Amino acid sequence: MLMPPGLVLDEAPLDVRSDAYPDAIYDPQAVLTLIYTSGTTGKPKGVVLTHANILANVDHVNYWMPYREGGVYLHAAPIFHIADFPFMFASPAVGACQVTMPKFSPRS
């Protein structure tokens, strides 16, 4: 498969089990991130998003635009924007590859 230049992680070290890193306990209601609104309709405020919030969004993305295991997907949206969160997590959630554009230019 032809791959663009970038960082390649070898799967072998990722498969190594160690007691030094016990399995994480998944809590759907645990805070994943705190984002801030832009304040377009009022004062900006912090909004708590849980793991369940983001995973529900990922499920919706995969329902309308099914990502496939082994697929390669171009990630062109700004990673810092909340609208991008479901897409940022959709590829790894199904075992797909995500290629991130280093820079966006409408002329290229």
Q: Please name each of the domains of the chain with its CATH number.
A: 43-108 (3.40.50.980)
Question: What's the pTM value of the predicted model, to 2 decimals?
Answer: 0.64
The model's pLDDT over 14-64, given as tens digits with 9 standing for 90+, comes to: 555 666 667 778 899 999 889 888 878 888 899 999 999 989 999 998 899
Q: CA 78, 26, 36 angle in degrees (round to 5)? A: 35
Predicted pLDDT at 89 = 87
Contacts of 20 (CB under 8 A, 6+ apart): none
Predicted pLDDT at 3 = 54
**Beta strands at 72-75 and 97-100: parallel, antiparallel or unpaired:** parallel
